[in-house]
Amino acid sequence: MILLVVSKKLGLDVLKAIYIEFRMPITVVTCDDRKDINRTALKKISDFCIDHGLPYMIYDNSQLTEYISTNKPDLCLVCGWYWIIEAEVISSCKRCIGLHNSLLPGYRGGAPLVWSIMNGDITLGSSLWEINSGMDSGDIIYQWKIEVNDDQSIKEILPILEEKVTADIGSVVRKYLSGKIQPIPQANEGVSFGSQRKKEDSLINWSLSAKDLRNCFRALQFPYPQLYLKYQCIEYEIYDLTVSLAQCFGKPGQILAYYNSGILVSCGSNNEGVLISDLRIAGNNRNFVSEKFFRVGTILL
């Protein structure tokens, strides 16, 4: 028995790829993630299972634990699950593997792709690994790599990476099950961990350098919570932010001028600044920068 524990668009695409590759009974567990309105694929996963006659359940982690402990699948593949897989779940499966959007051992834990873009990494990737009792520390089965540049945002990077993964994950899993791919232990060097992120973590930090703020902007876009700032107790989402070539002398977060169709804002500690040309309130397409709504000299939060 093959059990897929999936959510989000990547989980849906992995489900499709595994179904096409194996053409055998597959059972699916997903979760009710409809609160994550930008990323949920619950209906599409459910519809695919119904259309192809696949049994599926909408479970939380305790229900998943009970199901696996009872049914003991030959293979459990996890992609996009919100919770840590319990040790008893792992031991109940002949093989338990997962998909993680980083080049392990880097960025174990939460929001790996967001953290790697925020840190300015140019080589990104995804890992298929054997789940063990540690935090994303099991043996590596396969890794996919892509090269990116500092003009690409997560909105552009994510589809490229997901397409690369789903193009051959079916054949990779088949080779793994047949023994043609032998997992290798993770390196002891280059280990890092990331926390899960919340909406409030996307509030801009003006103490960062201009380059770091640019990377935050690249990472914090749809389908993740948008980078935002506060002005007069109102939140404004940032839809365009670039590094200023002009030197900036002011307090971090201070609007210095309207310049080149944007507001020039001081940041960091080395006379740096960023140019923001598109600020909107969530759900509103009105660009408050173009209307010169913000007062020069104001310090943004």
Q: Give the tens place of pLDDT for each residue, 146-157.
A: 999 999 999 999
Q: Is 230 helix (H, G, I), strand (E, B) or coil?
A: strand
Domains (ranges, CATH) in the chain? 2-193 (3.40.50.170), 199-280 (3.10.25.10)
**What is the chain's mean pLDDT, rounded?**
95
From CA 188, how far away is CA 50, in angstroms rounded?
Answer: 44
Average pLDDT over residues 74-90: 88
pLDDT for 260: 83
From CA 242, how far away is CA 254, in angstroms rounded?
Answer: 16
Q: Give the tens place of pLDDT for each residue, 251-285.
A: 999 999 999 889 999 999 999 999 999 999 988 89
Q: Is 191 helix (H, G, I), strand (E, B) or coil?
A: coil
Position 24 confidence tier, pLDDT thresholds 50, 70, 90? confident
Entry pTM? 0.93
Average pLDDT over residues 231-237: 93
pLDDT for 84: 84
Nearest Cα to Cα of residue 125 among 79, 150, 161, 151: 161
